[in-house]
A and B are shown apart, each in its own frame.
Chain A
């Protein structure tokens, strides 16, 4: 998998054609494994129990939300603690579309993404004036505004919340098939989409932005437009995860839809797994998923440990577990680097 880049520079002697390697053996293996896992996911209704499907749907939502946060914080330098605003808005709009307006719920999951996309534009216009840490708390305020506004909004049943009763017109099997297909679509859009984005020329710009925004701007990267694009894309991806999650839950209330705990989960997954890499998100999501199932019963003490672990990672291991692993073996699952090969080879 090599491609040749020829530089069309007219007024100087043409530079030698170079070969750039963009795929590695570990990447090819990982790609095959990913496709097999996706196939396993969509065939789950035929071999897995209802309980297992519910758990896997939750895991997929963790991965999607964390990857969107990773794109924001790890590449665009936009640290948000209010992405639950987009989850809640998309999920609520999906409930309204399906339950109140009678649109097919599986179609509604896709249509409802209009809401986070439209909402992200004015939010970014307001908040991008706040720099660094203040941007983060600004997003939190927006999520609180959405929660309080929804709690007072009679059309969506205010604080009492809504139920997705239309789902009872489908059999359990039909629901399982629909939800797992949507999950696969969600992973393709969030993880696959990020991978595609990072390998495109936007990926080069994003990597430059991650490493040094000022230097990136001086190399011709339109930093503010790129950040805006990423903010809107992350809003849509996070909204999709919200819609899928609450479709599986069948019930939504303002405190659950706009739960700040989603920010904790995303930050924990990305910081422990490794910020600025897709592999880190997958590792972090698996760790969180199993930690939550094994130690969740310890309640407060378990969350104290999660919090301290996040603190520890921020202080001593910024690159997370994937960063530590990369120091030992260089075998990326989703290679985004461009390696210059010998021009003759």
Chain B
């Protein structure tokens, strides 16, 4: 029963990791950029949301309505101001630029919000749970998982069926050919990063409702997102979702084996996938 419980909690945890991972899968799939500030932006949005909730007595839904557009705006600015200058075949400039920005952001947040861990009051929803046979399931984690599924489905169909999605796929296949057909790749890139960071707005609200956030947490979220993307298969949206599930389950089962082993178990499963199936679960050769 302990293991079934571990499995279910792992899937629910995976819902949160999927929200971290979607934006990274999108950005890497389109621009082959890894944004090192991915986790820090999530933490920044969470801290802004918590401060807003404290100052204006906003509920979680109002915070979500503020934080998601704010995330999209930050993403657009990040792409326009910095990433569009460094996107290209050489991965070094974008990596170093976002690495520097990440150090700056973490310490700026440390200066503003101090090192305390904070969380968002949810008006009782964070404690609510229901019984499924012998196992208790939290209401909030189920909402997180459902939101993650809807976001994944939405992003996947956006890429498949809309004009923007076609332009995006064209730009990722061949930037110059896409530009020849009248697409403006820089605008498409800015849109993609806006979506990626906007999704982090959801992750920020749910992370701060479910657990806590502190200015130095960003790198860990970045690593989880990255592991989910690689386990699932690079460039695949549903792959990132699946990878997040695998990571969540590994950590949850690992924690039940030994509390010091949880996070490590996730990393080891990631390294095992890299050794056995480097293209990921849904990736093609």
The finding on whether chains A and B are genuine partners in a shared complex, rather than unrelated, reads yes
Top 4 A-B pairs, shortest CB-CB distance: A310-B100, A307-B104, A132-B91, A307-B103
Instruction: Judge if A79 is at the interface, Cβ distance under 8 Å.
Output: yes
Q: How far is the CA of A301 from the CA of B97 in the complex (A)?
A: 18
Q: How far is the CA of A267 from the CA of B92 in the complex (A)?
A: 11
Interface of chain A: mostly helix, strand, loop or mixed: helix
Instruction: Judge if A138 is at the interface, Cβ distance under 8 Å.
Output: yes
Asked whether, in the complex, the Cβ of A271 is within 8 Å of the Cβ of B226, the reply is: no
The 0/1 profile, CB within 8 Å of A marked 1, for residues 79-119 of chain B is: 00010011000011111110111111111101100000000
Q: How far is the CA of A268 from the CA of B102 in the complex (A)?
A: 13
Give the Cβ gap from A262 to chain B, nearest Cβ, in Å.
13
Question: Which parts of A107-130 form the interface with B (CB within 8 Å)?
Answer: 126-127, 129-130
Which residues on the A side are within 8 Å of B94 (C-beta)? 133
Question: Which parts of B187-226 form the interface with A (CB within 8 Å)?
Answer: 219, 222-223, 226
Give the Cβ gap from B162 to chain A, nearest Cβ, in Å.
27
Which residues on the A side are within 8 Å of B270 (C-beta)? 141
Chain A positions within 8 Å of B, measured between CB atoms, are 73, 77, 79, 81, 126-127, 129-134, 136-138, 140-142, 144-145, 148-149, 151-152, 260, 264, 267-268, 271, 300-301, 303-315, 318
Interface residues on B, range: 35 or more
Which residues on the A side are within 8 Å of B274 (C-beta)? 126-127, 129-130, 138
Which residues on the B side are within 8 Å of A151 (C-beta)? 260
The 0/1 profile, CB within 8 Å of A marked 1, for residues 214-240 of chain B is: 000001001100110010001000000
Asked whether, in the complex, the Cβ of B271 is within 8 Å of the Cβ of A314, the reply is: no
Asked whether, in the complex, the Cβ of A73 is within 8 Å of the Cβ of B104, the reply is: no
Instruction: Judge if B275 is at the interface, Cβ distance under 8 Å.
Output: yes
Interface of chain B: mostly helix, strand, loop or mixed: helix
Chain B positions within 8 Å of A, measured between CB atoms, are 28, 32-34, 36, 82, 85-86, 91-97, 99-108, 110-111, 219, 222-223, 226-227, 230, 234, 258, 260-261, 263-264, 267-268, 270-271, 274-275, 278
Closest to A127 in B: B274
Which residues on the B side are within 8 Å of A149 (C-beta)? 264
Tell me which of B107, B223, B264, B271 contacts A300 (CB under 8 A).
Answer: B107
Asked whether, in the complex, the Cβ of A136 is within 8 Å of the Cβ of B104, the reply is: no
A133 and B34 in contact (CB under 8 A), knowing A126-B271, A311-B97? Answer: yes
Closest to A309 in B: B100
Asked whether, in the complex, the Cβ of A311 is within 8 Å of the Cβ of B267, the reply is: no
Tell me which of A137, A152, A264 contacts B223 (CB under 8 A).
Answer: A137
Tell me which of A129, A137, A152, A309 contacts B226 (CB under 8 A).
Answer: A137
Known contacts A142-B271, A307-B103, then 18 further A-B pairs from the complex at CB < 8 Å, ordered by chain A residue: A126-B275, A130-B230, A133-B28, A134-B34, A141-B267, A145-B267, A145-B268, A145-B271, A148-B260, A264-B99, A271-B100, A300-B110, A305-B104, A307-B100, A307-B101, A307-B104, A313-B96, A314-B93
